[in-house]
Amino acid sequence: MCAIKSETPPPSESTAPSPPPLPWSYAVEEEPPEADIDKDVLCPICMQIIKDAFMAACGHSFCYTCITIHLRNKSDCPCCFRYLTNNHIFPNFLLNKLLKKISARQSARNASPVEHFRQTILQGCEVSAKELDSLLSLLVDKKRTMEQNEAETNMQILLDFLNCLRKKKLEELNQVKTDLQYIKEDTASVKKRIMELYMAKERRSMNIRMLIDDSLAAKTLPLSIDQHNNGTISGGCKSQGWLGSASPQRTVGLKDQTSSWGFRSKDANDGLDSSYDTNSGLAVARKRRIHAQFNDLQECYLQKRQRRTKQFNKQEDKGPNVMEIDGYNPGLVDFQSVLSSFTRYSRLRVIAELRHGDIFHSANIVSSIEFDRDDEMFAIAGVSRRIKVFELSSIVNEPADVHCPIVEMSTRSKLSCLSWNKYTKNHIASCDYDGIITVWDITNRQSLMEYEEHEKRAWSIDFCPAEPSMLVSGSDDCKVKVWCMKQEASVLGINLNANVCSVKYNPGSSVHVAVGTADHQIRYYDLRNTSKPLYEFGGHKKAVSYVKFLSNRELASASTDSTLCLWDVKENSLLRTFRGHKNERNFVGLTAYSDYIACGSETNEVFVYHKAISKPAARYSFGSDMADADEEAGSYFISAVCWKSDSQTMLAANSRGTIKVLVLAA
């Protein structure tokens, strides 16, 4: 039987009598604080409450497991260091009993009120039927309240989800309606434009036919008159008959042509695609490319359409847009340009090949390949410690087993990068594995300037397009250096916290430089204030190996995470990410031309991307021509690529030393 607390004070006269205590108000005797209990029953070895207590001859108690393990290694008491063996330890029955009570009290103290009540009932506490009815009523009401609250909570969560889903779908529906309106407007504009082109074509055809008929009539009439004068045709009636017969024939012919033109115009209204030769191989191939990249093209169309519409809405107060008045949206014009250029090319075709293998050097990796100012010559450099200059026309127009360079210059160290001067045709800069920056004059094959401030390997060098005497370099010493050919030392330095892999001047500025580093970042600096970059682009997951400008505001970057990225340096935003090639270890090259970006791959392939589409537009494999190689083609990789300015022609080199002239083809 449980004892009810007797210390409850009797009710005073000024207070209402308190209700009888509930069954779970029965309590155990007061216990000493937990800290005091634990302090007395901790095992000196494991510092936890003793389990299965054993006492040593010296009087100290331990967990049985702890003391037996201790005695396997030592023969003394862990507390007083007296001699002790397994024969001198005995069960501590009193302490074990006390520990069981302590454990029971702690369990009771930590138990929930429901557990207290359950234990009270199980222990045989007497409770009247009236008290049980009251308790059951309370429990039923409590259960109903909890179930109702839970149901309301669940319904509210469901309602919130449905409202959120409805809002999202309405937004999507509104966007779809807007997109459909764009498509409807653009479809009408395109049909109108096709009709105009078709009508113009028919008018030109009609004019040509009329000119031909007039020319034939002009030649036939003098001949008839001559025949009449010579007596070949007698009588004015016959002559009149000829004239009368000729004129109706011509009139009928013109009517037939006019009716035919009108009939074809009607056909054009019914089917505007009639002028599009769907049976031609080129048209079929272009359609196939559209369907292969339909999702990306769809995204590109909607992005350009929405962006142009927002721009037009912001500028509508400044004046009407001529193309909008004509019903031809600028966004559609932009997308038409993308669609036309993207579907125009689908492959890379080899037009020439150059093997620059050196019998004195087994290593032939081409680290850099660059065209000169006029795109007449190109220079290559790499681990062979030589800069070689070739004429492009001789490579393309004069096939030969061996092509000799027109200029060859030796260096002390392996070369990592080249850069031609954009104004002085015979000046070229190089950087090498020793960190030396050298400016060469290819006319006399001599170095003009040498800079040795970098402490480690220099990866990148670039002449400024806007200021021909300035150049910038980046190195493994985590420094960017700006040089002037008129001075013997650097004019500016930028210290970074990561290895510098690539540097590039903005083509429209002499003070803006993009820097790619090994910490996955691209920093865009204004050289007039280098305390911090203007922008930092952080989209890559590994080292940024190359940066190249497509225009004054578009910057492409390559990384060893097997991606390319396109950035807007004016708005500090990522425009697109390109995937398809493989690049995890090596520098595989990066180059840009107009709307296209090209890079190499560790699969020994060249990949070409259109800047508006994230998947490859064309690719070419060097491996197909390497069946006679000593090693497998997979052991080679593309090491350098370079576009010829304003041309579909590209140079590509691989780690075997093979250089190919490629051209974009349909």
> pLDDT (tens digit, 9 = 90+) per residue, 37-61?
566 788 888 888 888 889 988 889 9
Cα distance between residue 225 and residue 246, in whole Å: 14
* 458-467 residue pLDDT tens: 999 999 999 9
Q: Which residue has the higher pLDDT, 363 or 177?
A: 177
Note the pLDDT of residue 550.
93
User: Is the confidence at residue 525, as pLDDT, over 80?
Assistant: yes
User: Is the confidence at residue 604, as pLDDT, over 80?
Assistant: yes
* 533-545 residue pLDDT tens: 999 999 899 999 9
User: Is the confidence at residue 326, as pLDDT, over 90?
Assistant: no
**Same-domain check for residues 81 and 159:** no
Q: Which residue has the higher pLDDT, 206 or 473?
A: 473
**Same-domain check for residues 159 and 103:** no
Cα distance between residue 445 and residue 374, in whole Å: 19
Question: If you average pLDDT over residues 416-444, what whole number do you get?
Answer: 94
**Same-domain check for residues 150 and 106:** no
Residue 377: inside a domain: yes
Contact 622/605 with Cβ under 8 angstroms? yes
Run of H or E residues at 320: none
User: Is the confidence at residue 255, as pLDDT, over 60?
Assistant: no
Note the pLDDT of residue 296.
85
Q: Which among 158, 180, 196 is the end of a domain?
A: 196
Question: If you average pLDDT over residues 471-479, what whole number do you get?
Answer: 95
Cα distance between residue 456 and residue 454, in whole Å: 6
Residue 407: inside a domain: yes
**Same-domain check for residues 444 and 507:** yes
Specify the range with the lowest mean pLDDT, choosing from 271-285, 344-358, 465-479, 642-656.
271-285
Note the pLDDT of residue 213.
77
Note the pLDDT of residue 462.
96
Residue 534: inside a domain: yes
Structure tokens at 254: 């013109």
Biggest alpha carbon–alpha carbon distance for the chain: 162
Alpha helices by DSSP H, 386-545: 392-397
Specify the range with the lowest mean pLDDT, choosing from 96-110, 163-177, 319-333, 390-404.
319-333
Residue 583: inside a domain: yes
- In the chain, what percentage of residues exceed pLDDT 70? 79
> Confidence class of residue 363 from pLDDT cuts 50, 70 and 90?
low
> Confidence class of residue 20 from pLDDT cuts 50, 70 and 90?
very low
User: Is the confidence at residue 98, as pLDDT, over 80?
Assistant: yes
What amino acid occupies position 220? T
Residue 259: inside a domain: no
Cα distance between residue 41 and residue 49, in whole Å: 6
Cα distance between residue 32 and residue 19, in whole Å: 30
> Confidence class of residue 224 from pLDDT cuts 50, 70 and 90?
low
Note the pLDDT of residue 282.
78
Number of domains in the chain: 3
**Same-domain check for residues 496 and 615:** yes
Cα distance between residue 237 and residue 240, in whole Å: 5
**Same-domain check for residues 542 and 401:** yes
Cα distance between residue 147 and residue 153, in whole Å: 10
Phi, psi of 426 (to 5 degrees): -95, 10
Residue 273: inside a domain: no
> Confidence class of residue 227 from pLDDT cuts 50, 70 and 90?
low
Question: If you average pLDDT over residues 102-121, what whole number do you get?
Answer: 74
User: Is the confidence at residue 504, as pLDDT, over 80?
Assistant: yes
Note the pLDDT of residue 411.
92
**Same-domain check for residues 503 and 564:** yes
Q: Which among 132, 161, 196 is the end of a domain?
A: 196
Run of H or E residues at 525: strand 522-526
Q: Which residue has the higher pLDDT, 574 or 268?
A: 574
Number of H helices, E strands in the chain: 11, 31
User: Any idea what the CATH number is for the domain that residue 432 is in?
Assistant: 2.130.10.10
**Same-domain check for residues 62 and 177:** no
Note the pLDDT of residue 293.
84
Count the Cβ atoms, other than its own, within 10 Å of residue 9. Answer: 6
**Same-domain check for residues 475 and 604:** yes
* 613-623 residue pLDDT tens: 999 999 999 87
Domain boundaries, position 527: 347-623+634-665
Specify the range with the lowest mean pLDDT, choosing from 156-165, 205-214, 449-458.
205-214
Residue 490: inside a domain: yes
Count the Cβ atoms, other than its own, within 10 Å of residue 486. Answer: 9
Residue 161: inside a domain: yes
Note the pLDDT of residue 450.
94
- Cα–Cα nearest to 81, from 71, 91, 92: 71
Structure tokens at 190: 């395109």
What amino acid occupies position 77? C
